Structure 1
Amino acid sequence: MESSDVELDFQRSVQAVLRELNTPAPALQSNRGMWRWSLHKKVERNPGRSSVLVRILLRELEKAEREDVRRVIIPLLLTLMYVLTKQATGITEELYRRAYTFCTRLLTLPAPYSTVALDCAIRLKTEAAVPGTLYQRTVIAEQNLMSELYPYQERVFLFVDPELVSPSVCSALLLEIEAAQEQQTPEACMRHVVSHALQAALGDACHTGALNRKLQASSRRVLEYYFHAVVAAIEQVASEDSPSRLGHLERLEEIYCSLLGPAATRRRFVGDLLQDGPASIPLPSPYITFHLWTDQEQLWKELVLFLRPHSQLRLSTDLEALDLQGFRTDWDLARVSTDSGIERDLPLGSDELPEPSSSEMERAALQRRGGIKKRVGPPAFSMPGSWDGPPGLHRRTGRPSGDGELLPGVSRVHTARVLVLGDDRMLGRLAQAYYRLRKRETKKFCLTPRLSLQLYYIPVLTPQDPEVSGKPELGELASFLGQADPWYESTVNTLCPAILKLAEMPPCFDMSQTVDPFILDVITYYVRMGTQPIYFQLYKVKIFTNLSHDPTEDIFLTELKVKIQDSKSPKEGSSPRRKGAAEGTGAELSVCYQKALLSHRPREVTVSLRATGLVLKALPAGDTEGFSHCTSPNAASATGCMCLRVSVTEVVKSSNLAGRSFTTVANTFRTSSIQVQSQDQRLLTLWLDKDSRRTFRNVVRFEVSPCPEPCSRAQKSKMSGLNSHGQEAEKNMAKLNPLLMPINTFSGIIQ
């Protein structure tokens, strides 16, 4: 195919992606997203054409900037970055410079454009100085390849609730994941890293055919040596303030000649003459573990086990001082090792390696084990506002805080990407697990100092019969995310019909038959490029079944629904029925709520009314409701953004010549907190997050308020000690930061 035909083909594909963005479609009902996938596949199958696509994407980005079409900037920019990460070969310095200059111009725009542009500019600067750095770091982290120079490790935890997702969907996803990971052995991933680094640095001078054959024939030990040598060469140059591209090239040439021998510099191999451009080097999909969510503590247990292996605890002796609560029995005993802490590798074997006097060889042959392990008390500082972003407003977008140090010598070198599949009910369970996780961390810092927690969501909804009424809408949060982020709508929301279609296909147990899995590719793209969270407020509800007893506490994320029970049986301790109470449907309710005002001034309203039910929604009703605010980090108070939308079905009594009649009227108001109590012995039934498993019956009163950040006992005792009467303590507790749960998207909320 001629260059003009290739450019025209790429141009048509890019325009198709832009048309999808500019053509709104019903959420979760369109089979879109294929153009983005096919565009990346074209470059992956022929990496020599990557520079053509990069040039087209830059041209479209500069055009969008001139015409102020901001809607397409972030999708095009992320598409560009994904191409540069997967295929860094053949990209000229001029293209890197144009991309970097464009990102720096975007820094004058408001968030999220400036936020995404800053992240891209940082990565572009590193990649331009040392080509192949992004690819190498991605593979090392995602595949958990041990490296002292780049110790960061990631894992994707895929959680599915078997009661909400059909067994056929679970089986189809598991088969696709296993089929893709069958070929992703550690040896294969190390070969990819070495080959990609040498090809990105040497370009046409790299004999890719001979290089791949040599790597395939090398033993595990030889492969590990060259892998660590390449990683050291790239990371040492990337860490310099003014990296020298010439010095980097010389180091990789030495490794290349050491691997292939003197013949590599004198002649080309015959097999390479038939190649049309550089060879395709795949970027392996992340290491994904599949979990059926059956235990309330399962998320915490999996995260602890992720940090537990000793092979991952060699990074710092301070890491060993942190307790893993629930996994040790002898907490107060120190474990002391009497050996030197050094273990030497086994004999090298028959393969030839460079001289053992080299520093790289010594580093590969020696490993330090933790020698003395002592128990220390929990750190004497308060819980951070959020694991992955600064404390702020409801649904505020922002960039994760990264791997800043929380303890001396301890950095967050582990990243857990928790991906949940399901509907709003699954997100309710995730909110419960997230709250318990944060609450557990206030007692003993186990995960927070070491782990960056990233949450992702892919909707999987079972088709509902339109003739059946009364069923809740289970995709509200997915629709909200699609309205907030058009690229999420075009890329992630399209997976719902694709996953259901995959489940209907007959299973294929031959791993070699799975080629270019679409669903796994989109999941991979989402967890890699979805770095901008949208924060959601969690709400705490206190439930009273008897006013003389302590309440039951729970939380919800999206919705709380209240219905009036038919039973009128009195409860012990409840007040007797008032005389003259109106007969008819519904129940007499006393409602006291804090009115949500733009002025942020507290205004309490108390009303008595007869109603048949209430619905408390935590999500905005329209496309723009909640988007115009809740994004500024400099707002005076978070209470103006954290508001519930309460819909009350009120029973109105009217008298006429025919007698008394009752009609229902729907009223809606906004509140930051609310208390509801039944006045005439009619009991209430509560549903949390549309989940029938989270149903509370025989309720006489409930209270809803924003869930605060969990605080430790030391913080509580400090607050309570300020005032013996507890008045000052209540004020301080009310000032605690609200607990926000982040869900990652591509851009956050687009203004």
Structure 2
Amino acid sequence: MESSDVELDLQRSVQAVLRELSAQAPAVQGHQGMWRWSLHKKVERDPGKSPALVRILLRELEKAESEDLRHVIIPLLHTLMYVLTKATGITEELYRRTYAFCIRLLTLPAPYCMVALDCAIRLKTEAAVPGTLYQRLVIAEQNLTSELYPYQERVFLFVDPELVSPSVCSALLLEIEAAQVHQTPEACMCHVVSHALQAALGEACQAGALQRKLQTSPRHTLEHYFHAVVAAVEQMASEPSPSREGHLERLEEIYCSLLGPAATARGRCGGDSLQDRQPGIPLPSPHITFHLWTDEEQLWKELVLFLRPRSYLRLSADLEALDLQGLWPDQELARVSVLSRDSGIERDLPLVVDELFAPSSPERPGLQRKGGIKKRAWPPDILMPVSWDGSLELHRRTGRPGGDGELLPGISRLYTARVLVLGDDRMLGRLAQAYHSLRKRETQKFCLTPRLSLQLYYIRVLAPQKSTSSRHSELGELAAFLGRADPWYESIVNTLCPAIHKLAEMPPCLDTSQTVDPFILDVITYYVRMGTQPIYFQIYTVKIFSDLSQDPTEDIFLTELMVKIQDSKFPKDGFSPKRRGVAEGPGAELSICYQKALLSHRTREVTVSLRATGLVLKALPAGDTEGPTHGPPTVAPVTDNTCLTVTVTEVVKSSNLAGRSFSAVTNTFRTANIQIQSQDQRLLTLLLDKDNRRVFRDVVRFEVAPCPEPRAGAQKSKVLGLSSHQQQEMERTEVKAKPLRMPINTFSGIIQ
């Protein structure tokens, strides 16, 4: 195929992706999610098309910038970066234009500037040292051993067997296993060496001969060249001003050592023949482990096992003595003994906690006391786990180890756990419980947070039912919210639900020699790699009283709390009987006290008593109403996911010539805190996150408020060395504890 035909074919595919984002036409809807996948497949099958596709994507990005078509900028930028990660033979001029475009995007508001900054940092390294992005991605995802780049990643795929059918679970497991059967460590090391040499040497590299040589080499030889290539790339990437010429010379030495003296002569003559010039180098899918979520503590256990097999970081004696699965909190964590290197003068002490924990070398001598021991209390921000949302992820994925990407001095988050859950809103409710439990554990042990970056992902998988079923659509409300916030998520991820069910209906392929394109796995891989922008969802705590004289039961919910009126009644003791002749009517008399959510963020207490047949508290905006139902509805902004939308079905009594009658009126308001109590003999039933396994019956009263950060209750016991003034400051900080929000990664975050 001629060059003009290649570019025309790629241009048509890119235009199909743009039409999908812009038109939303019915003809396009049937192929949603397929255009991006087919575009990347064309380049994967013929790597020589990569420069042409980069030029086309860059041209479309510059056009979108000039015409202010912001809705296509982030999808096109992610598509471009995914091509650049795998491509070889990209010219410096294309790198320079792409980098300049990302720099210009920094003047735009979030999330455009955030995505552009991430891309610009990676582009700067890749332009100076080609092949760096590919090498780091494969090393981290395949858990290859490397001292210069010791980061490790793993994708944990969690499926609730009670929410997802066994056929879907089996189909996903078979596709994951089939794709990973050829991804041995030896094969991945071959890919890293081949890609680095081709990216640096270009057409002078005999790609076919190089790959054949690597595939026939014994493991020890392959490991030798793998470590040599990784050292050359990482050492050059760590230089403040890397020299591309020096990098090229170093890789030429490795290349000649591999193929022998004939490699240089053949390179001058043009390398391999035309059909053997540039064979494709696949980008292996990440290491994915499949888990059936049957245990409440399963997420914690899997994360602990992920950190245990190979540890590249020796912590201090205090953290080494911590049992990762123990139940006893470490009360002496604030008392850290370190080697004293200061002058002993108070003013010479550093202002920050430095060298609390330093990676020790194999020849580390015994701990000695020189001039005294410094004993300090950790500052509050360092004492407690700051976040699990991967706020340090940008530096970790793009920079070299250490530096600004450290949670504590000397300790980097070397591990990244990408937790991907499949299911509906009920599964996310259980994920919120596990996330809250992890944060609560870390206030006692503080053993995962210093080393682990936790990334959360979600793919909606609903049971195959009729689309007209209202209950069926309600179970996917959070996925619908993510699709409204991020159109690229709607196009790529939300379209997987029917594709997964089609995969489950297909008969399994028993011929393992036949090569297939695993569409589901490819889209999952694209999502976990490029979905780096989180959307935060408020977790709410609910205190449930079955008896007002006893302590309440506490639980949390993420998406919805539904309240139903039971037919049963309280015992007569302690309640005044109703007057005779007064019709109770349907529902129950409720006392509702809440803080009204105002745009000014001022507190306004509202207390009402009304008769209602039920309530629904939703943490996600439905995008339709607020306030009375009379008059035109107002559209809720997609960013307003920080308060509860309360819908009350009120019973209104009216009198006419025919007698008394009752009618139902729906009222809606927004709040962040609410207390509801039954005033007559009717009991309440609470349903959390639409999950029939999370039901509380015979409820008298309940209170809902934003769930605070678990660290707030643990700070007091670990700062006993502070002065009284500092203690008062800490107590005021505890009162104003930040609410706990669970991040779910998307491609762009919330687009305004």
TM-score (norm 1): 0.87
516-525 or 382-391, which moves further after superposition? Answer: 382-391
**Whole-Å separation in 1 of the counterparts to 2:163 and 2:95:** 46
Give matches, 1:261-272, under 5 Å. 261-267=260-266, 272=272
Are 1:534 and 2:535 matched, yes or no? yes
- Residues 468-513 of structure 1 show CA distances to partners (whole Å, capped at 9, x for unaligned) of 6666710100010001001001111110000010001112244333
Aligned-pair CA distance for 1:729: 9.7
Aligned-pair CA distance for 1:575: 3.7
Contact 2:544-2:552 at 8 Å conserved across structures: yes
**Whole-Å separation in 1 of the counterparts to 2:120 and 2:15:** 25
Query: 2:20 matched to which residue of 1?
Result: 20
Aligned-pair CA distance for 1:86: 1.1
**Whole-Å separation in 1 of the counterparts to 2:319 and 2:93:** 47
Amino acid aligned to 2:253: E
Give matches, 1:662-673, under 5 Å. 662-673=662-673
Aligned-pair CA distance for 1:405: 1.9
Query: 2:704 matched to which residue of 1?
Result: 704
Structure 2 unaligned spans of 5+ = 333-360, 369-374, 398-403, 625-633
Query: 1:304 matched to which residue of 2?
Result: 304
**Whole-Å separation in 2 of the counterparts to 1:214 and 1:167:** 44
**Whole-Å separation in 2 of the counterparts to 1:400 and 1:490:** 28
Contact 1:127-1:134 at 8 Å conserved across structures: yes
Of structures 1 and 2, the one with the larger relative CO (CA 8 A, separation 6+) is 1
Contact 2:390-2:454 at 8 Å conserved across structures: no
**Whole-Å separation in 1 of the counterparts to 2:29 and 2:698:** 39
**Whole-Å separation in 1 of the counterparts to 2:363 and 2:618:** 52
**Whole-Å separation in 2 of the counterparts to 1:156 and 1:485:** 22
Query: 1:349 matched to which residue of 2?
Result: none
Query: 2:288 matched to which residue of 1?
Result: 288
Aligned-pair CA distance for 1:467: 6.7
Amino acid aligned to 2:666: A
Query: 1:687 matched to which residue of 2?
Result: 687
Are 1:584 and 2:579 matched, yes or no? no
Contact 1:561-1:688 at 8 Å conserved across structures: yes
Aligned-pair CA distance for 1:533: 0.3
Change (3 A) 1:467 1:7: closer
**Whole-Å separation in 2 of the counterparts to 1:371 and 1:166:** 57
Contact 2:20-2:29 at 8 Å conserved across structures: no
Identity of aligned residues (%): 75
**Whole-Å separation in 1 of the counterparts to 2:367 and 2:623:** 55
Contact 1:595-1:672 at 8 Å conserved across structures: yes
Are 1:744 and 2:750 matched, yes or no? no
Aligned-pair CA distance for 1:320: 6.0
- Residues 121-144 of structure 1 show CA distances to partners (whole Å, capped at 9, x for unaligned) of 000000000000000000000000
511-520 or 601-610, which moves further after superposition? Answer: 511-520
Aligned-pair CA distance for 1:425: 0.4
**Whole-Å separation in 1 of the counterparts to 2:74 and 2:91:** 23
Amino acid aligned to 2:280: S
Contact 2:535-2:749 at 8 Å conserved across structures: yes
Amino acid aligned to 1:214: K
Aligned-pair CA distance for 1:516: 1.4
Are 1:252 and 2:251 matched, yes or no? yes
Aligned-pair CA distance for 1:212: 1.0
**Whole-Å separation in 2 of the counterparts to 1:298 and 1:229:** 39
Query: 2:75 matched to which residue of 1?
Result: 75
**Whole-Å separation in 1 of the counterparts to 2:163 and 2:520:** 19
Contact 2:685-2:695 at 8 Å conserved across structures: yes
The alignment's C-alpha RMSD in Å is 3.2
Query: 1:8 matched to which residue of 2?
Result: 8
**Whole-Å separation in 1 of the counterparts to 2:85 and 2:535:** 25
**Whole-Å separation in 2 of the counterparts to 1:229 and 1:677:** 69
Query: 1:86 matched to which residue of 2?
Result: 86
Contact 1:559-1:689 at 8 Å conserved across structures: yes
**Whole-Å separation in 1 of the counterparts to 2:10 and 2:81:** 16
Aligned-pair CA distance for 1:698: 0.6
Change (3 A) 1:575 1:437: farther
**Whole-Å separation in 2 of the counterparts to 1:652 and 1:680:** 17
Structure 1 unaligned spans of 5+ = 334-366, 392-397, 631-640
Contact 1:385-1:737 at 8 Å conserved across structures: no
Aligned-pair CA distance for 1:417: 0.3
Query: 1:487 matched to which residue of 2?
Result: 488
Query: 1:56 matched to which residue of 2?
Result: 56
**Whole-Å separation in 2 of the counterparts to 1:379 and 1:510:** 59
Aligned-pair CA distance for 1:609: 0.3
Change (3 A) 1:326 1:37: same
Are 1:649 and 2:646 matched, yes or no? no
Query: 1:118 matched to which residue of 2?
Result: 117
- Residues 212-255 of structure 1 show CA distances to partners (whole Å, capped at 9, x for unaligned) of 11111111111111000000000000000110000000000000
Aligned-pair CA distance for 1:654: 0.7
Aligned-pair CA distance for 1:370: 9.3
Q: For 2:199, what is the secondary structure of its paired residue?
A: helix
Aligned-pair CA distance for 1:570: 2.1
**Whole-Å separation in 2 of the counterparts to 1:14 and 1:263:** 42
Aligned-pair CA distance for 1:463: 2.6
Contact 1:148-1:315 at 8 Å conserved across structures: no
Aligned-pair CA distance for 1:48: 1.0
**Whole-Å separation in 1 of the counterparts to 2:704 and 2:328:** 39
Q: For 1:35, what is the secondary structure of its paired residue?
A: helix
Contact 1:379-1:445 at 8 Å conserved across structures: no
Aligned-pair CA distance for 1:275: 2.2
**Whole-Å separation in 2 of the counterparts to 1:41 and 1:240:** 35
Change (3 A) 1:316 1:717: closer
Aligned-pair CA distance for 1:112: 0.5
**Whole-Å separation in 2 of the counterparts to 1:319 and 1:125:** 39
Q: For 2:114, what is the secondary structure of its paired residue?
A: helix
Aligned length: 695
Give matches, 1:271-350, under 5 Å. 272-275=272-275, 277-309=277-309, 311-314=310-313, 321=320, 323-326=322-325
Contact 1:165-1:422 at 8 Å conserved across structures: yes
**Whole-Å separation in 2 of the counterparts to 1:377 and 1:155:** 36
Aligned-pair CA distance for 1:439: 0.6
Change (3 A) 1:411 1:2: same
Give matches, 1:428-507, under 5 Å. 428-465=429-466, 473-507=474-508
**Whole-Å separation in 2 of the counterparts to 1:497 and 1:596:** 38
Are 1:618 and 2:606 matched, yes or no? no
Aligned-pair CA distance for 1:515: 1.2
Query: 1:425 matched to which residue of 2?
Result: 426
